[in-house]
Amino acid sequence: MTVLGCVFYDHNIWLVAVAALVCLAGSSATIRLFNRAANTTGLQRAGWHFLTAVAAGSAIWCTHFIAMLAYDPGAPVGFDPVMTIVSLLIAMLGVQLGFILAASGLTRLAPALGGAVVGAAIVAMHYTGMMAYRVQGLVSWDMDYLVASIVLSVVFSALALHLAMRRVSWADKYLATGVLVLAIVSLHFTGMTAFQVSPMLIDGSFSNPSALQALAIAVAGVALVILGAGAASYLIDGSMRAESYEQLRHMAMSDSLTGLPNRASFNDHLDHEIDLAAETGGKVALIGIDLDRFKEINDLHGHGTGDEVLQVLARRMNKLLGEGEFAARLGGDEFAAIYRMQGPAELPNFLSRLETALFKPIRLDDFEVIPGASMGVAIYPDNATDKEALVNNADLAMYRAKADITRAVCFYERSMDEMVRARRNLAGELREALESNQLDVHYQVQTSLTTGEIRGYEALLRWEHPQRGFIPPTEFIPLAEENGLILQMGEWVLRTACARAASWEPPYKVAVNLSPVQFAHTDLPKLVMEVLRETGLAPDRLELELTESTIFADKERSLHMLRQIKELGVNIALDDFGTGYSSLDTLRAFPFDKIKLDRSFMSEVESSPQAKAIIRAVLALGKSLEIPVLAEGIETHGQLALLTTEGCDEAQGYLFGRPAPLQQIVTSGQLTLTGHNVAAQAVVIVRAETVEMNLIARSA
């Protein structure tokens, strides 16, 4: 009896090579598909586990089958078809259970336990396949090799899935592939060493080697097709993931309206350019861009037109960009550009191209707009040594350009920091002034031009600084709006003016200006009602003044609030009339009690026919709408004579009286404080001061 082992592979070594190729390709696809399954959930995980099981089971079974066909026992062989198919099913179902367990995360040992199940499935497939192997001879087994084959398969498979799930380094998946190949190969060849055959030629016939080889090639081909399908699924999914990731990344880093890079992309690019400049000793120019007339475009033509303007400007800027040039939309009408400076002479050319793109007219339907822009330039490292300072300095330069109507581009200068610090200091002092009662309300008389009688007084906030002296409202009111103090100041002025007016004799009206911030951040009708109730002032003696820009911030909401206030009996005056661009529409939408003609027309009325024509038109409009017109800024008798001739109802200005403290007006005899109302006023002032203290406490 001749004992035959694996030496018989020498006759079909090329089939062994095919088996090894199938095993390697299958193991590689299996590990990748398993990783994909482990990183998904739900139905996707189930689908990837199925593909993993098909690929792994096919690779293991085909490796075994091809290697068995390469094995020459020296006797006729055959295969039981039922057991052969059963071995394939065992391979697929067994490894699927193992992979599901390995990816379950039930315990830290789940990958190793799942790998052990895969190893056991490989063992079960191999020895079931050996049961399907029919050879004319006496078969015996070496139990030591048989047990060793089982141990090797289970141990190496457990290690393979442990490495696959660990993913500590990029090499883990390659190690996992190699160990899985080792698990399959060690099982087969060790098991075949345990398999011993003593040929018994019963009928004297031998199997057809050529037919068996052809069958092996067919099996290998089918295996590779199956593995190719699994690999293709993996690659297609990976490509789709990469494409989806790129789409999401583009969405996250791009402005949805204009397609330009957004603020996040801008920050990344600026960081990169600064790092590059630091390494190479180069320079980077940051240009802050703010459109000049974008709000006007929105208000006149609607937000849809505004969006279209932004898109046109974005396309223009994107088209002009070259190497080392970058533009982004930061939000609203705010843009930014980054320029990698090659030489000092090149930056002006880039700024000129930007200016051309931003100032070139845009034709939309039947009208044309010129957006224009203000640009501030700061250079790294000349003006700043880090990104935050660079951005801040570019903003400072941009605000300087916005304030200077003679130039569109402004470069950062160190003095700008001093101006910012001065404004910050003044803002702190304004907060202290509110807390220490440095603020006061002065009153300017409003006079009837028909009778010469006093109609009322406008309450005007004044600030007498202990060291700086008088600070004009045009300086500290915008500062209060920027720093969140305007709400406290506005409420304090309203309460103080109403409380003092409640004691006036005769009972003149008092006019109080409203800030746009009060419309946006407070329940104004409720506040007015509370102030009237607490001060005892009759509603018809209070006149609230507001500008058109206040209404346009949120026209529908503003007009609704004004109607509520008017229902209280309070008068509403439209201030600075004639300087806006929707005045007629505003008058049509809301029945104002008074129109205040802007003082800018008065300064030119004696020398400008156009200003005189505008005044006549406004006065005629007021008469046709039955709305009284008050002219502001009357300083000369010539101005007064013209207004009287044209039929203006009321006037206000230095010619009639400068703003003065209440006590000075009382001393002049223009009004008196009644005894009853003086007492009432004292109570109201105490209440107003209490409210003021509460506001200050809340702000602190």
- Among all chains, which residue has been given the structure tokens 């994909």? 36
At 372 the pLDDT is 87
pLDDT in tens, 616-667: 988 998 898 889 999 999 999 999 999 999 899 999 999 999 999 999 999 8
Alpha helices in 502-554 (DSSP H): 516-521, 524-535, 548-552
Residue type, 477: I
Domains and CATH numbers, the chain: 6-199 (no CATH), 263-412 (3.30.70.270), 436-592+629-637+648-699 (3.20.20.450)
- Among all chains, which residue has been given the structure tokens 């109080």? 512
CA distance 655 to 631: 12
User: What 3-state class would DSSP assign to 256?
Assistant: coil
CB 104 within 8 A of CB 139: no
User: What 3-state class would DSSP assign to 637?
Assistant: helix
At 371 the pLDDT is 85
CA distance 382 to 394: 12
> What are the b/e assignments for 302-327, b being 16+ CB within 10 Å?
eeebbebbbbbbbebbeeebeebbbb
Structure tokens at 186: 């060690």
Residue 672 has φ and ψ, to the nearest 5°, of -130, 165
Expressed in angstroms, the distance from the first to the final Cα of the chain is: 104
At 131 the pLDDT is 84
CA distance 592 to 582: 15
Residues whose CB falls within 8 Å of the CB of residue 589, separated by 6 or more in sequence, listed in order: 555, 559
CA distance 115 to 121: 10
Burial of 86 (0-12, 13-18, 19+ CB in 10 A): middle
CB 621 within 8 A of CB 598: no
CA distance 316 to 501: 58
pLDDT in tens, 269-316: 999 999 999 998 899 999 999 998 787 787 777 788 888 999 999 999
At 426 the pLDDT is 82
At 216 the pLDDT is 53
CA distance 115 to 158: 4
At 685 the pLDDT is 45
Listed as ranges, residues in the chain with pLDDT below 50 are 1-11, 204-206, 211, 214, 676-700
Residue type, 280: T
Residues whose CB falls within 8 Å of the CB of residue 378, separated by 6 or more in sequence, listed in order: 285, 286, 288, 384, 390, 391, 393, 394, 396, 397, 411, 412
CA distance 187 to 411: 77
The size of the chain, in residues, is: 700
- Nearest residue to 543 (alpha-carbon basis) of 477, 498, 584: 498
- Nearest residue to 495 (alpha-carbon basis) of 456, 542, 564, 457: 542
